[in-house]
Amino acid sequence: MRVSVPTIPHVVTTASSTPILPAVAVERIAQFLSPGNVTLLTGAGVSVDSGIRAYRGKDGRYMNPNYQLRSYLGYPPVRDALPNTTHCALAALQYTSHISRLITQNVDGLHKKAIAHVWDDDLISKRILELHGSLHRVHCSHGHVVDRDTFQEWLSAHNPYWKDYVVGLEATGQKPRTNPDGDVELEGVSYDDFVVPECPQCALEGRHNTNQKPAVIFFGESIPVVVRNRSSGLLHKISLKNISTPHRLHDVERSDRFFVVGTTLATFSAFRLVQHAVKLGKPVLLLNVGPTRGDEITASNVMWDVVRTILGTRVAADPVIVDLLNKGIYNPPSDG
C-alpha cells in the first residue's frame, strides 16, 4: 500500500506518484489535524480492511431488475461488516473534536457503527453526512421508507428459492464478491423469477408500486439538493428532519481545514468539495492508499500513530479512546 500526502491544489489536477515515509506522513497529518475543526471526506478505500472492495460499479442502477437480486444477495456481508482500525482511529479523533464533521462517500454505515456506542443518533446525524446515501434504508418511488432488514425479509418471503440460497451460503461460510454499492457479481444466473414485492404503504393508498430501491445514489443519479448543500455550504436557511439543523448545513465552509482519506476523487460529488475548499482558501490534505511495488503501509497503522501523536498520554488515560483503539478489525478482501 502507498501512503501519499500530496499538496493541494496540485492534487486537483494531478496525482502524486512519490510515496513518503510513514513517519513523515504521521508527522504531517498530525500537524494538520492538531488545531482541530477539520472536516473529513472519506471514500471506499477506508472500508477495504472491513472486507468491502474499493469499487463503485457504473451499472448498479436499480431500474435494472437484475440489481434487486444482486443487492439481495450482497447486502448481508455489508450488514455484518465491522468497522476496521482506520474507522476506529478516525472515530477517536471525532470523539476528541479534532475532526468536527465527517462526509463519507461510502454507503456501508461503518463510520456510524464505529462511534455509535459513544454518540447518540442525533449527534451522529449532525456530525456524519452520508453523501451517497445508505444501504441500510430502502425507499419506494413515492418516498415511503423502510429499514433494510425489513425489506430483506419481504424479499425472502417472496423468493423462497433465493432465501434458501442465502441460507446455504451462510451455512458454508461462503461470501459472494460484494461491491461497495451492496450488490454481488453473478454469472450464469437467471433473474426472471426474482420477485420485488409491492410497497405496503402505497398499497394502503390504493397504488400498486414495486419500484423500491436502497437509499443510495448510483452513477447517473443526482445527489439530493439538501445533501449537496449541507456538504459544501451553499445553503444556509433550511430545516430538514434527519439531515440536520440550519447551522450544520455547510460542513466545508464551517471547517478550518479539509482532510481527504481513501478516495481518488473520481466522483464529481467528492471532487467538487475539494474544489470548494480550495476556492475558500482552506488547507487541504490527502491521505491516499493504493498499490505499490514496495513495502506495504496500511492506512490503519498511519492513523493509529497519528492519534497517538496528537493525543499523547490521553490515549492511555481516556477509557473511550482506549476502547476505540482496541476495536477495529483488519480483514481485507482475499482477492484484492
Determine phi and psi for 258, rounding to 5 degrees.
-130, 120
Question: Contact 234/249 with Cβ under 8 angstroms?
Answer: no
Beta bridge partners of 145: 139
- Taking 3-state DSSP, the helix, strand and coil percentages for the chain, each rounded to the nearest 5, stand at 45, 15, 40
- Among residues 2, 9, 6, the alpha carbon closest in space to that of 278 is found at 9
Q: Mark whether 276 is an active-site residue.
A: no
CB atoms within 10 A of CB 204: 9
* Candidate list 132, 136, 250, 276, residue with the active-site label: 132
Beta strands in the chain (DSSP E): 2-4, 38-42, 99-104, 128-130, 133-140, 145-147, 212-216, 257-261, 284-290
- Among residues 274, 307, 323, 288, the alpha carbon closest in space to that of 118 is found at 323
* Residue 146, C-alpha cell as written in the block: 423502510
Radius of gyration of the chain from Cα atoms?
20
* Residue 282, C-alpha cell as written in the block: 482552506
What residues are labeled active site?
A: 132
